[in-house]
Structure 1
């Protein structure tokens, strides 16, 4: 922020958020005021720099050119209530108070110059600030971001809210953010917008108040111990898919910009996408955006195509899918990043060097998660799935849906000849899926029961699916010892087979891609025309 005065004094600050005033000699050139950082520089393990507010004015050597007892009062200096006059008692006796505002009004050229456009800023006795319909306490800071933006706890229309305070030079960005919020906040997984107010110093945006960020939840899940990570990621992707359906690209998706609401009356918690400051609305008929205004996003979460300086480079909404893939891994791995430590992330992103070492090849859930995340963080933007396609992935399937899929596949290929394209795709590389002979990896009671009715080929994926389907259909007719072996439907039953054959689901899902146009498989795949 920068203010100029007729006396030639200049104040430049990146964190002008103090609650008092400063007295400095007239004619003194002020130094740049930077908020101090914990241990000199606050760079956490995430590698993101966080600036905290300060009013520490340091004067450069030789810059003092002042006259004795000639002072300039800087800051908000309306006459305060009696309880707040302690600072003023020691003012120089000959200080001349003209009654003029210290910060001059904007010129008529400013788009925000209309007197009726601004609200008077009121400071109550308890330090609560009231601007229009919004009130907040400056000391109750919920967070802060780039360009001097702060978020405070506040109230609007009798409800608790979050108040986002934006600097004057960011008014245009604020207008765009508000417009995009108005367009998109009807979705339960997008932060809700209430209103905007302004005074002569700031723009204030009232938005839904949430409990924690996704980052805070991952670092300490004790706040919501019962939450399911997959549900949170599915809700996040639903919110992102909603934005993309409106041609809005977020461009700064990261764990700090995904919020978790407080529990509602039913104890339910929602994941919400927030911070629309870098969002971009893509005009109808187009699918990409330009980078003329600079590189958007936060280092370590930016897609590689945004960073590459190639002629005609126009990124698409796939940049959000890349960032979401990094967020997915961050959540399921409890804080790891696929592209490594903070200082090397962006270099690794550009070179396509990632590690998903948290996942094990012999664990069913890990195989599924790895398949999805590898697609989402692909270096080739066109190879990444759309948000709608991501939501169809088996990563989000319940055990019941997994079992229905196995059953539908088995029914579909039951009468297919061995040389048909579907069966060939299913059996290709099938020996590694069934671990050479699947019959050798099931329990003795189930082996015995299978031999009673028909012969199954131990090296065939199709026969393994057929055995699963038949035992599911006749589950209640099975001997008690076989039921005990298989577990209850559907969770125990599915887990019995997928724990022994962890690649079975993803292998089958990939093989049946050629059937996505068939109505039977619409619940499991995105129809070709919708991709």
Structure 2
């Protein structure tokens, strides 16, 4: 209540509270300068310079280059508070999709995974490892005036930056335990393990598995059962996974050896996305929208992106 009043006193219309944590609170706000955005508000001493710096690296290029992550807009320090203003995703999250317990058609799952992988491929190309990929950290957004849904990777509070692209480095296990990669099953005396950006692929692989089955390939609520899974190093195909190409991609994403685990950029080249069946399952409306976008681009519309003209990436 104190923080929302502070925002109002400083000229921001508080539309609603979105969430809270140990760092502070998150609000949906509006003002003439920023329009409708998210305000992440914390005491100055709780401000994470690393999180802001990661956001700045990702925001160096315009959204047209990659729209699949939440961008920081600006930050302000007002008295005792630091406020980070960021994009607002106006729908729910992938967690809410999974939580419905409804089977999603493979063409929809394909687009969801493609957009997340495009976001992750871009993030990794900047030397950034997210380290907390999970369904609640992938948000859905419907751009105004369109029928499209864009998925956006959110919450870079645990992210770290590699000194050199693709290098392994010692790091702590952070984020949701259920989505932690096998590398973190064995830690050194400092509770660290050698890992790289492929830990995000493992986490996304589990998200993929849950989209297809509504479950994990192990029992995340039982430490004993989880340990058995990681000790056996065997991924068992659930009977609900009918699509062979999705299963093949899953096995590459959920490789227990990070060195053989597929990268985000290579995953996008997998037949699950590029094969004949994938092309045949693109909806007529997606084909028409992509055609319209191409024509609009030829007509000089500079706001049209490569993603708008890609019929295989539209929900």
Q: Do Structure 1 and Structure 2 share a fold, with TM-score over 0.5? A: yes
Change (3 A) 1:396 1:176: same
Helix, strand or coil at the partner of 1:371:
helix
Change (3 A) 1:285 1:387: closer
Comparing both structures, which one devotes a greater share of its residues to strand?
2
Which of the residues 39, 43, 46 maps onto 1:163? 39
CA distance in 2, matches of 1:129, 1:221: 39
**Match in the other structure for 2:210:** 330
Helix, strand or coil at the partner of 2:84:
strand
1:250 aligns with 2:130: yes
CA distance in 1, matches of 2:166, 2:109: 34
Which of the residues 27, 30, 33 maps onto 1:152? 27
Helix, strand or coil at the partner of 1:314:
strand
**Match in the other structure for 1:357:** 238
**Match in the other structure for 1:194:** 73
**Match in the other structure for 1:369:** 246
Change (3 A) 1:183 1:329: same
Give a deviation string over 1:113-163, Cα, whole Å, max 9, x none. xxxxxxxx8948xxx5354x7x253x8221234x34432111252521111
CA distance in 1, matches of 2:154, 2:73: 14
User: Is the 1:188–1:272 contact (alpha carbons within 8 Å) kept by the matching residues of 2?
Assistant: yes
Which of the residues 142, 152, 155 maps onto 2:18? 142
1:208 aligns with 2:87: yes
Change (3 A) 1:286 1:317: closer
Normalising by structure 1, we get a TM-score of 0.46
CA distance in 2, matches of 1:371, 1:233: 14
CA distance in 1, matches of 2:180, 2:138: 16
Helix, strand or coil at the partner of 1:290:
strand
What stretches of structure 1 move > 4 A for 4+ residues in a row? none
CA distance in 1, matches of 2:239, 2:120: 25
User: Is the 1:321–1:376 contact (alpha carbons within 8 Å) kept by the matching residues of 2?
Assistant: yes
**Match in the other structure for 1:381:** 258
CA distance in 2, matches of 1:304, 1:393: 23
User: Is the 1:340–1:354 contact (alpha carbons within 8 Å) kept by the matching residues of 2?
Assistant: no
Normalising by structure 2, we get a TM-score of 0.74
1:299 aligns with 2:177: yes
CA distance in 1, matches of 2:41, 2:239: 39
Max Rg structure? 1
Which of the residues 157, 171, 184 maps onto 2:58? 184
Helix, strand or coil at the partner of 2:136:
helix
If asked which structure has higher relative contact order (CA below 8 Å, sep 6+), I would say 2
Give a deviation string over 1:7-66, Cα, whole Å, max 9, x none. xxxxxxxxxxx54xxxxxxxxxxxxxxxxxxxxxxxxxxxxxxxxxxxxxxxxxxxxxxx
Change (3 A) 1:122 1:296: closer
CA distance in 2, matches of 1:288, 1:231: 30
Change (3 A) 1:348 1:317: farther
Change (3 A) 1:249 1:140: same
Helix, strand or coil at the partner of 1:152:
strand
**Root-mean-square deviation over aligned CA pairs:** 3.1
User: Is the 2:220–2:226 contact (alpha carbons within 8 Å) kept by the matching residues of 1?
Assistant: no
Query: How far off its partner does 1:382 sit?
Result: 0.7
Query: How far off its partner does 1:201 sit?
Result: 3.5
Query: How far off its partner does 1:167 sit?
Result: 4.2
Which of the residues 186, 194, 202 maps onto 1:314? 194
Change (3 A) 1:288 1:164: same
**Match in the other structure for 2:310:** none
Task: Count how many residue pairs are aligned between Structure 1 and Structure 2.
Answer: 269
CA distance in 2, matches of 1:221, 1:378: 26
Q: How does 1:111-126 map to 2 (within 5 A)?
A: 123=5
CA distance in 2, matches of 1:330, 1:130: 44
Structure 1: unaligned runs, 5 residues or longer: 1-17, 20-120, 403-489, 492-531
Change (3 A) 1:236 1:130: farther
